[in-house]
């Protein structure tokens, strides 16, 4: 039994900002390697318009390939109702709906106001109940926005309250530009957990300023049990100037296991997946442990 759940987002968030389209076959191989390392939940793709994010042009093909992996939960990000309809056709078991804590980022990211976005979210929650589909409500730029600066925690709490009332199955708090400090993370998430009550809370951390692991520890201390990370720390948001990659899955697993926090992930196989993920990116991967740790070791 694991103490935490790790959702690897490298096939989606890790690759979405790559300038050269990664083949469906390579995306499948990355997913397969994550599955072999015993990652049980993977955000595999995004049903977004290919003009906005060309890397996700093969979303349907990726999800078709994922059907051969039994016992794995696959998540797909959706930005609007059109994306939701595509996800239905692909028989996705969980969708990740994204809003933002600031109006400017919401317009840059999905071309809607926060209220317009939320009205669509309520519609998909109602439809998802009929389809037996889970819906995650993720809040981008929860700590800081590249356009509006520091984010008032009250804005995040308000969105959490609305998401709980609407019936979200999970709520994600994202540090999209990697600006948060451990003190901010612990303080905000303690309040989020209180407001969310029984609704599971996930933290999505970017490691832009090297604070990812410290912020993950702060989230754990606050009571968060779900962490979204990316193999080798690859990634970045096309709508967040200056944002670097995600917190590396292998770095978080290393820290947790050394602390006695069980993840049930095969560390050696995860390092192999991280090596492959690093080969798919044109940027310098942010993951650290992969580059220094002896294989098969958690020393």
Which positions are annotated as active-site residues? 237
The helix/strand/coil state of 170 is: strand
Comparing CA positions, the residue from 299, 290, 292, 247 lying closest to residue 270 is 290
The helix/strand/coil state of 267 is: helix
Strands (DSSP E) contained in 190-231 are 201-205, 226-229
Q: Which residue has the tokens 């990697």?
A: 178
CB atoms within 10 A of CB 273: 28
* C-beta separation of 209 from 247 below 8 A: no
The helix/strand/coil state of 291 is: helix
Comparing CA positions, the residue from 243, 231, 183, 237 lying closest to residue 207 is 243
* C-beta separation of 208 from 243 below 8 A: yes
**Alpha-carbon distance 40 to 42, whole Å?**
7
Comparing CA positions, the residue from 7, 96, 5 lying closest to residue 48 is 96
H/E stretch holding 242 reads none
Query: Which residues touch 123 (CB under 8 Å, ≥6 apart)?
Result: 81
Tokens representing 116? 């317009």
């Amino acid at each position: 039994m694991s103490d935490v759940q790790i959702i690897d987002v490298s096939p989606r968030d890790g690759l979405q900002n790559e300038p050269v389209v990664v083949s469906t076959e390579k995306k499948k191989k990355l997913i397969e390697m994550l599955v072999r390392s015993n990652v049980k939940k993977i955000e595999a793709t995004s049903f977004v318009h290919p003009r906005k994010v060309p890397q996700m042009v093969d979303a349907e093909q990726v999800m078709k390939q994922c059907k051969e992996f039994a016992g794995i939960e696959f998540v797909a990000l959706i930005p609007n109702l059109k994306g939701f309809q595509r996800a239905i056709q692909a028989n996705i078991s969980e969708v990740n709906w994204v809003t933002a804590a600031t109006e400017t980022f919401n317009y840059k990211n999905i071309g809607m106001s926060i209220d317009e976005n939320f009205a669509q979210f309520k519609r998909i929650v109602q439809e998802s109940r009929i389809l037996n589909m889970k819906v995650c409500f993720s809040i981008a730029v929860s700590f800081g926005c590249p356009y509006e600066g520091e984010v008032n925690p009250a804005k995040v709490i308000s969105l959490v309250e609305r998401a709980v009332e609407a019936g979200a199955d999970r709520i994600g708090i994202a540090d999209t530009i990697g600006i948060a400090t451990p003190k901010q993370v612990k303080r905000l998430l303690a309040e989020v957990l209180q407001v969310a009550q029984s609704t599971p809370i996930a933290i999505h951390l970017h490691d832009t300023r090297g604070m990812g692991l410290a912020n993950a520890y702060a989230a754990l201390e606050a009571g968060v049990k779900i962490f979204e990370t990316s193999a080798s720390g690859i990634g970045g948001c096309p709508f967040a100037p200056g944002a670097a990659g995600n917190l590396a899955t292998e770095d978080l697993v290393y820290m947790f296991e050394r602390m006695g926090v069980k993840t049930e992930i095969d560390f050696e196989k995860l390092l192999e997946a991280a090596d492959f993920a690093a080969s798919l990116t044109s940027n310098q991967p942010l993951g650290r442990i992969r580059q220094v740790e002896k294989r098969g070791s958690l020393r």
